[in-house]
Amino acid sequence: MERQGIGLARKASESKVAVKSEWQAQSPSRPSRLADQLYGQILDRIVSGAMPEGEKLPSESQLCELFGVSRPVVREALSRLQADHLVISRHGSGTFVQRRPNQAFALLTPIEDVADLMRCMEFRIGLEGEAAYLAASRRSEADLERMKRAFDGLEQVIASGDVGSEADREFHVAIAAAAQNRLFVQTMEVLADHTLRGMELARKLSLRQSARRLQLVQQEHIRILNAIEMEEPDEAREAMRSHIDNARLRVLTDSTEP
């Protein structure tokens, strides 16, 4: 019995050594949030193909040891990866890679920034969804004209093959202004850098994929604009929330669909 116990302990030790050797993990540094950095390091392995779709991640305890972080940090990082449909948890089996983003993803933005950009999009779903709701209730004809000009600017961007992140942001800011509550616009100004970087990443990835992707985005913009023009607040809110959530998911997938 004692020999059997020693044999099991040796196997467990060898397994830990193998995981350490394979991952060559770096402990996240302290200046920024640890969960964001751990998210980025795991995402980097998925994007590079070091962890292909279907492969099992190390256990929570192994990740704690590999990266020198606590279990709550590991759980938060895994929860975010699950929310972004990059990994999937199977009860009793562990966590597995669900989706590998296009490798171009890593060329267009630093991996360590991705968690922050995804959380910004998540926040924008709530913020801009309510702005669209109020815009449909309160917009003036001048507000509507501003939105239409911004939409036309996006049409020109698509036709010319440009990225158009500034034009995209102008469309969203025009809607926030139509809510007739300056706090929406002020909050979007605070988020301007993150918002622009997120839009630029999404639109550059779309340009690398196909024209179909940007046309899909325009269809979502039309749905928002029509709901605001027809003064349908609930539809405007749902259209905006779906649009930003779809953008978040499109960043992480090759599909032309949301």
Query: What residue segments make up the domains of the chain, in order of their start?
Result: 2-97, 104-251
Q: Which of 48, 64, 142, 62 is nearest to 100 (CA)?
A: 48
* Fold exhibited by the domain 104-251: Four Helix Bundle (Hemerythrin (Met), subunit A) (1.20.120)
Give residue 257's pLDDT: 52
In angstroms, the CA 172 to CA 48 distance is 33
Residue type, 196: L
> What would the CATH number be for the domain defined by 2-97?
1.10.10.10
pLDDT of residue 204: 87
CA 252 from centre of chain = 7
For the chain of 258 residues, list the mean pLDDT of each consecutive stretch of 10: 47 54 59 81 92 95 94 94 93 92 77 87 97 98 98 92 92 98 97 93 82 86 98 98 92 62
pLDDT of residue 205: 85
The pLDDT score that the predictor gives to residue 56 is 96
From 206, 248, 241, 246, select the one nearest 227 (Cα to Cα).
241
pLDDT at 28: 58
CA–CA gap between residue 119 and residue 151 (Å, rounded): 26
Angle between helices 182-190 and 165-178 (to 10 degrees): 150
- pLDDT at position 182, please? 97
Decide if 135 contacts 178 (C-beta within 8 A): yes
Q: What is the pLDDT of residue 2?
A: 46
Residue 233 half-sphere exposure toward CB, CA atoms < 13 A = 10
